[in-house]
Amino acid sequence: MSDTQHLTTGSEKPIFPDDGVLKLYSMRFCPYAHRVHLVLDAKNLPYHSIYINLREKPEWFHQVSSSTKVPALELVKAPGNPVLIESLIICDYLDEKYPEVPLYPKDPLKKAQEKILIERFGQFITAFYRLAIHENPDQLGNTDHYAGLDIYEEELKQRGTKFFGGSSPGMLDYMIWPWCERFASLKVALGDGFELNPERFTTLIKWRDLMLQDRAVKCFYLDGKTHAQYMSSRRAGNADYNMLYNEAKRVKLE
Ligand SMILES: N[C@@H](CCC(=O)N[C@@H](CS)C(=O)NCC(=O)O)C(=O)O
């Protein structure tokens, strides 16, 4: 993660050596792109990261990503350099293409059940954004924002394993992690009342602490304060994509 400068309108398309290395178009604070970084890192696959300013996209970006969204993964070794979009499709592709570190269970039924739990997490993502766009907890009303998480607490408790994937994180762990990492930002932005309730989410809190020690998680980790700072810039309509880049530059100059 040496350079997190985001390319913008007017930026040239970067040229890479003909090294056969996957190219990931990303945005440093996008949780969907985060999923793909986690899977690539978990599988120890080398890749080039190309960060895109999503408010002022480079002119060439629509030719790369048919949805004009990140993540987009360019398969430089495949004929015609196809580009995959949609985080779940990309991660499933990577798991099939690079099976040395398998992330799904082998059994087709268990794999399908894992995918159902990944799909259902979408409900919580919606609730998460309702929280993340507010700065004032008084505007939030009495809704139970964490209702979508109870099934994961119960599921992990029943499995009795450290991770959903067993003794190490699997696809379900990595697909839900980007939003779980960002829980800490809700506490920073909205106050202690928005920390996960330790009685209700005992198992998930233990899981979160274990996930924080995982190598792939550490590779792309940002703390709650940093996520909160980015979200605050986004709420203000001025998403600060280059926040980390500018900070690193400032520290270097000091
Ligand atoms: N369903 C997509 C969602 C991707 C997505 O919404 N990406 C956002 C950034 S977090 C994006 O690229 N937004 C730019 C745009 O909508 O133009 C996935 O899972 O990959």
Q: Whose CA is nearest to atom 14 of ligand 1?
A: 69
Domain annotation covers residue 175: yes
pLDDT at position 205 is 97
> What phi, psi does 23 have (nearest 5°)?
-115, 120
CA of 81: how far to CAs of 5, 14, 32, 73, 214, in Å? 24, 15, 22, 10, 32
Strand partners, 72: 25, 85
Rounded to whole angstroms, the Cα distance separating 235 from 232 reads 5
pLDDT at position 3 is 73
Q: Is the CB of 54 under 6 A from ligand 1?
A: yes
CA of 127: how far to CAs of 124, 132, 172, 186, in Å? 5, 9, 19, 12
Give me the domain span that covers residue 177: 108-230
CA of 67: how far to CAs of 36, 76, 81, 144, in Å? 16, 19, 17, 33
Domain annotation covers residue 170: yes
Q: Is the CB of 27 under 6 A from ligand 1?
A: yes
CATH number, domain with residue 161? 1.20.1050.10
- Is residue 30 annotated as a catalytic residue, yes or no? yes
Domain annotation covers residue 27: no
The pTM assigned to this predicted structure is 0.96
pLDDT at position 212 is 98
Q: Give me the number of domains the chain comprises.
A: 1
Rounded to whole angstroms, the Cα distance separating 179 from 176 reads 6
Condensed to tens digits (0 to 9), the pLDDT of residues 1-35 reads 447 899 999 999 999 999 999 999 999 999 999 99
Distance 27 CA to ligand 1 centre (A): 9
Which residues of the chain have a pLDDT value below 70? 1-2
Domain annotation covers residue 78: no
pLDDT at position 1 is 43
Nearest ligand 1 atom to alpha carbon 52? 12
Nearest CA to 52 out of 74, 75, 68 is that of: 68
What would the two tokens of residue 49 be?
A: 């990261």
Q: Is the CB of 36 under 6 A from ligand 1?
A: no
Domain annotation covers residue 197: yes
Q: Is the dihedral of CA 118, 122, 128, 129 positive or negative?
A: positive
Domain annotation covers residue 100: no
Distance 61 CA to ligand 1 centre (A): 13
Q: Which residue is associated with the tokens 């009795």?
A: 160
Rounded to whole angstroms, the Cα distance separating 246 from 236 reads 19
Q: Is the CB of 91 under 6 A from ligand 1?
A: no
Condensed to tens digits (0 to 9), the pLDDT of residues 34-76 reads 999 999 999 999 999 999 999 999 999 999 999 999 999 999 9
